[in-house]
Structure 1
Amino acid sequence: YSWAIYFYPDGKSPEPEDNASYVSLFIALASKGTDVSALFELTLVDQSGNGKHKVHSHFERALEKGPYTLKYRGSMWGYKRFFRRTGLESSDYLKDNSLLVRCRVAVMQTDGFDYLKRSCPSLLTELLEYVARRSEHSVIALGHRKEVFADGCDANGRRVKQRLH
């Protein structure tokens, strides 16, 4: 994939007061693609050598929120309020009237798992049978016949109750 970084020194916000107060920074999908799931990190580099970079990262929140999905070319991820404009103009991020922005992108591969969709029903049955043998499970007597059920989750985390015998 190709990416573009968009920096808005006058902000990119529907709120006029934000545009005067903040700079905005975004990364956008520049190549053709649909539903590209990725994690992003935008860093404004401290050019004084002190290493006090301004980092906004999606990587730390990946487990709780998951990757961000860019739907089409031109879709953006970033921050309308990346940094206060007055602080930027007198900071170590600005050197010789230029900024250095680093971007890190990790694209999640989603098309390589089709085989799991096909094999999950058999894997799920095996797993539920194992759970039924190893842990508490429901035994329901219907007339002379007993039916054994095991509770579990499918690959998408949905609750599943399956009859085993």
Structure 2
Amino acid sequence: VTMWFDNWRWSGVPFYIRSGKRLSKRVTEIAIQFKQAPHQLFGTAMEHVTPNQLIIRVQPDEGITMRVAAKVPGQVTRIRDVNMDFRYGASFGVQLAEAYERLILDCILGDSTLYARKDMTERGWELVMPILEEWGASKAEADFPNYEAGSWGPEASFSLLEAQGRKWRRP
């Protein structure tokens, strides 16, 4: 899905969301890809450099990675991707609980902080139901982009980004 937000801050910035079950890898992350600079600071050495990225890993291996293009030390101008990593488990020497473990414990303790409120859930359904009703009425199921278990998703998801000169990040 491509989403656009109608406000001054995010005007013209596409947000791509991909979700699925039994994909090639079980991972939840937010990847922010920064625009390339309008000029090439290091000339032709920058032609094939990937854009800088900020990757927030929700699960597994919770943490944050900043991937940047950096000049390799020396007289020759070579650029290479490098990672600046923060990993909760490694930094604090603990194994974080699985998401459901935390929710079940919170339920037992009576802490509803991480649970969706009733009004939030109802609003979510208000937004989704018209889409589901239209989809059901249009018989779009025949065109639904299915995919093989263990793959990275349907071909349609790749085509969506390729049409805009982009590609999905592989975690």
Q: Judge same fold: TM > 0.5, yes or no.
A: no
Of Structure 1 and Structure 2, which has the larger fraction of its residues in strand?
1
| Bigger Rg, which one | 1
Of Structure 1 and Structure 2, which has the larger fraction of its residues in helix?
2
TM-score (norm 1): 0.25
TM-score (norm 2): 0.24
The structure whose RCO (Cα within 8 Å, separation 6+) is larger is 1
